[in-house]
Amino acid sequence: LRQFLRTKWPGRTRVTAYLAQRIRLLQHVPVDIGNSQTLFLDLRDEMCRDILRDSPYDAHPWEPDEQHVIRRLVRAGDVALDVGAHFGEHAALIASLVGPTGRVIAFEPNPERLDALRRTVGQFGNGEVLPYAVSNQAEEALLFVPEYHSKASLANWDPDGTVRQIKCCQVTIDALVADRAISQPDFIKCDVEGAELLVFEGATATLDRPDAPIVMYEANLAAARAFGCS
């Protein structure tokens, strides 16, 4: 399929997507992206097909700036949260860095991502996936999922094309730490398509400590505006 996707044949992506809808093995394909990282990818997703086509990434690492920061800051034994894990492109690296004495908890509310993500996060035996949207409240919400799943968000910030609405449960980091469902984190990677402020509002106690975690988050202006943020 990788070689097929690299051709110029018309319909190659549609054929791959059609096969992935009907062949379950193509919904958790192990793909080497370089640097000893393996992702399990669901080829129903356009971004996953792009990654398969372009892999491995030895010469040009996947999202090198973010990966460089993660390698510099995450240490063995750390507890790390991947908030908005998608298909685990950073969770795999984090899990390898924290090692057997550490822990990575990946949050992903899109149910179509969970099977492959659990394989990615669980490959080192030190991670788990929680199927929730992290926010500033603990109640049911709608997840807006466009055709390009990486743009899924609690707000419909990119309405081009077909956008599906999926019910999801929200949680707060503070409540999870207080209930000892997760340990106080040392590192948080947060990429939730504009809802980052909601995540931090639900983690004020966790962030307002002498041993507060290091936070790496994405700032997406277009997505943030959908939440009333600059």
Please give the structure tokens belonging to residue 61: 């690492």
- Please give the sequence-ordered ranges of beta strands (E in DSSP) within the chain, or none if there are none: 29-34, 37-41, 79-83, 103-107, 127-130, 133-134, 140-146, 163-171, 187-190, 214-217
pTM of the model: 0.93
pLDDT at 82: 98
pLDDT at 153: 95
pLDDT at 162: 87
pLDDT at 99: 95
Q: Are 27 and 116 in contact (CB under 8 A)?
A: yes
Counted residue by residue, the chain has a size of 230
> For 40-66, what is the HEC assignment?
EECCCCHHHHHHHHHCCCCCCCCCHHH
Per-position pLDDT tens, the chain of length 230? 999 999 999 999 999 999 999 999 999 999 988 777 899 999 999 889 999 999 887 767 778 899 999 999 999 999 999 999 998 989 999 999 999 999 999 999 999 899 999 999 999 999 999 999 999 999 999 999 988 888 999 999 987 778 999 999 999 999 999 999 999 999 999 999 999 999 999 999 999 999 999 999 999 999 999 999 98
Residues sharing a CB contact under 8 Å with residue 180, sequence separation 6 or more, in sequence order: none
- Nearest Cα to 107, choosing from 119, 96, 94, 117? 117
